[in-house]
Amino acid sequence: MKRQVCIIFLLLIMIFPTVSFATETSSDTMILEWKTYKVWKDGENLCMSGEFENLRNDLKITRLNNFTAIITFMNNDGTSYQYVGQPEKMPMCKIAPNSKKRITFNLSKFDGNWTDWNVDAIYNFSYINGVNF
């Protein structure tokens, strides 16, 4: 009886291989790239919109874990200052292989004026390797 159960078990393993995916974490911009399109004030809140692009065809982005925006604001008189902030709420960010997703962040209260801006972003994310759909 034990032998038959073992044989059936081995046959099932061979017929239905188990595939499990474990998420991995990365901050590699060669996998997920951020492009900022707009920075504006909505009342007292500083907002930013842009797009994440999954550059790989074998990875699915499952979650944005952390996002820090480093915004350099420039004024007409040549002065500049930096703002470093994180979103008040992290948006849901699932991106299929070779796809893009537009995201808008609320970066909290901000009191300042500017004529031009430049954004550097530091972020990390989770992904599943080997997914191809």
Average pLDDT over residues 43-55: 95
Q: How far apart are CA 38 and CA 117, in angstroms?
A: 9
pLDDT at res. 24: 86
Q: Is the pLDDT of residue 12 over 70?
A: no
66-113: pLDDT as tens digits: 999 999 999 999 899 999 999 989 988 899 999 999 999 999 899 988
Residue bearing the bigger pLDDT, 82 or 29: 82
Look over the chain and give the mean of its residue pLDDT values, rounded to a whole number.
Answer: 87
Strands (E), the chain: 23-26, 32-42, 45-54, 59-74, 80-85, 100-109, 116-129
Q: How far apart are CA 110 and CA 78, in angstroms?
A: 21
pLDDT at res. 122: 94
Q: How far apart are CA 93 and CA 104, in angstroms?
A: 11
pLDDT at res. 130: 67
Q: Is the pLDDT of residue 9 over 80?
A: no
Tokens 């962040």, located at residue: 105
Q: Is the pLDDT of residue 55 over 50?
A: yes
The pTM (predicted TM-score) of the whole model is: 0.77
